[in-house]
Structures are given as C-alpha cells and as structure tokens.
Structure 1
Amino acid sequence: MANIKEFSALGSLRKTLQDQEQARIKAEVERERQAALAEREANLFRHSIGRVAPLPVNAISKALHQPSPPPPIPRQHIADEQAALLESISDEFTVDTLMDSDEALSFARPGVGPDVLSKLRRGNWVIQAQLDLHGYRRDQAREALGEFLRSVRRRGLRCVRVIHGKGLGSVNKEPVLKHKVRNWLMQKDEVMAFCQARAADGGAGALVVLLKSSERPGG
C-alpha cells in the first residue's frame, strides 16, 4: 500500500517538472522571437535611411537674430502735453518763492494797492461765482481750478470764491488742499489778490479771489 502511494507521488512530481520545463521552453522561444522581430525592425530602419554621418563642425552655420528695438517713446511730446494740461500750475511752488503774503496768507500781486486787499477782506466785492473742491483729489482739484478760472474770465466776472475745505477729513487733519489752492492761485496771472473768506462766506475753508478785468471785444 505504501509503495503505491510513493509511486503516485513520484508520478505527480514528474508531471510538475515536465510542465515547468515546457513553460521554460515556451518562454525562451518567445524571447528569441521578440529579439528577432526587434532586429528585423532595426535593420528595416537602417535600410530606409541609409548611411549617416555627423556633419563637420565647420559646416554648421549659426544665424544670430538680434531682437527688434522697442519703438521710441515720445517723452518730450508727453511732457509738453502734460505741461499744457496743467496750465503751468506747479506743486513745487511755495508762498516764499515769488509773492508777498501777510500772516493770514492773503495775497496781492505787486502793483495792487493795499486798499484793494482791505476791501476784499471786508467783503466790499460781491462774490459772483464759486467753486467747491470738497471731495476732489489733488490732480482733480488743480484741473478744476484752472477750468473754473477760464470760465469766469470768459464771463467777465471779477470776484469769486474757491471752497477748499479745512482739511478735517484729511490724513492727520492736514489741510493739504488748502495750501495747494493758495499756491496754484498765485501762479495764475489773472489773479490780482485773494484772502481768507469772512466767517459768513466760509471762513478758513474758503478763499475770496479778485481777478483782473477781462478785455472783451466791444468792452
């Protein structure tokens, strides 16, 4: 009985070894087939392109392309346009640069009598128009002031009020626009004099401005 079991186990082992050998032979045949296929494809590629050789170094030419220069910027033209737009009103101008002023920063152009400024302070001149610059940024205020002065001059007005505010809403409560407006007005030839408005007309938040008489046709 034992001999039969041993013989059966031996037969099973032999069958296993035979199966493994057949699998190894199949794998080897497949590997050789794949290698032969790769070799045929390589030969086909080489046959198709023919013989190749690297180009000599002196036969290689390099083209160097310089980038196109950017178009020139018309800086002077831009500067001229900006200067004309701002009507020659500069932020660099200061009270001490050209004109005389009193403690209250009133202003009278040289040649204007002291009585003119006194009458302006007392309110003897009737205010004929006004410009309110509340809420304007600096550049907006400068342009608005220039346009306002041109407009009232065309209408032949002489006494106007410019409301610049007291600067209470500005950073650090500094009245930046207040000082800018005074400096801009002093640079305008048509401005003869100005002073702080009376309390009833705006006080420290406004200026009363006296303009030169307009020379209108037929006037």
Structure 2
Amino acid sequence: MVTYDRHRGRRDALVQELAHRHRLAVVPSANDARIIAGAGTVAWEMLQEVPDLAAMLVPVGGGGLAAGTALTATGHNPHLQVFGVEPAVADDTLRSLRAGRLTPIPPPATIADGLGHAEPARVPFQINLRLLADVITVPEDAIADAMALLWRHYHLVAEPSGAVAFAGLLQAADRLPDGPVGVVLSGGNVDWTAYRTLVDIAMERMGDQSHAAPMLH
C-alpha cells in the first residue's frame, strides 16, 4: 500500500510514477472515454425499466458516472434532465459549471469520501458542462439522513457517496420536473462501525420524520 498527503501531494502524478516504475496500466476512475461509456450502462438499465423518466439524479465526484449517465439519458430522450448531486462542502463541479471552466477547491472533508474531489476530471467535465441540467448540493446531515432512510424503509446499505443522489431527491424535489425520477445509488463500500454511527445519529436527529420516505421502484 502506498499512502500520500492529500493536502500537499499530487495523487495522479504519484499513480503515473508507480505505473511507470512497475509497468502497470492505469485505469482512471473518471477521466477516460471508456470508463464514461461503461458508467452509462447504469442509465441504460434504468431506462429499460422506466422508459419515460423525467429526470435522473446521479452522484458527482470526478464526474465519470454523471457524464455517462447524461450521455445515455439525453441520447434516449433530449428532454430527460440529469442532475448531478455532490456534498455542499465538496462543490467543485457546481463551481466549475457556474464558471464554465475547471475551478479547483481546497481538499474537502466530507463523509462522502468517494466524492471528495478538489477538481472535476477534464474529460467528463466537458460532457457535464454541456449536458447536466444542474448540480444539487447537499449538507453532511442530509447525506446521513438519506443513508438512514434507505436502511429503514428499503433495507439498502448505502455508503455516504452512494446515498448522495437520494439526499438530493429529499432536499430538492421541488426543483425536479414532473414525472418519474431515477436515482442512482452507487455503492455500499463502507466500514460497518462508521455506517452504524452515522445511521444511528441520523435516526435520532430525524425522530418521527424518519417514518416518511419517497417510494422507490
């Protein structure tokens, strides 16, 4: 295992150095057309189930999953709106879209560590700049609340990054078009102790409100 200081180190440069030294192939998480195309199969499967979706919500980190979703969704229906969702403290994509260019932020601290990017990846950003309807940002408590509701009502274990799009639905339903909405729940890779702590705190904070949740298909 190789570690680095995310506040001062350059992860991509370190990866390239290790790949060159050990003759390894680098598989980027977002910054590659093939990765983006593969990510688009998520939206394709959703549209096979519900062809008349009015909107999709998808987590945004490096931007590959969002770009693949947007390409597939708008190719299926140009009027289908795709919204990226990211933590409010890690809003590099929102700032970049508003500015029309890559806009780095300081390394963020968020429970959704898979979305804690300081800058969008270049290749998916150009797609997201063109195709995303908007980006919704959610506070940390809302992410934990989404995890708790997914567990309580749907028996789904979602890591914080995986629950972010559902948090966006809970926070910004009034911004979405009328009609069915698809929500990408993108992972359950979470330490069980940390997960239990976040969910227990969220349950206590929500109280009786945790009895209400949107219907998922």
- Work out whether the TM-score is over 0.5: no
- Shorter chain as denominator, the TM-score bin is under 0.3
Report the TM-score, using the length of structure 2 for normalisation.
0.23
Larger relative helix fraction: 2
Instruction: Work out which of the two has the higher radius of gyration on C-alpha atoms and give 1 or 2.
Output: 1
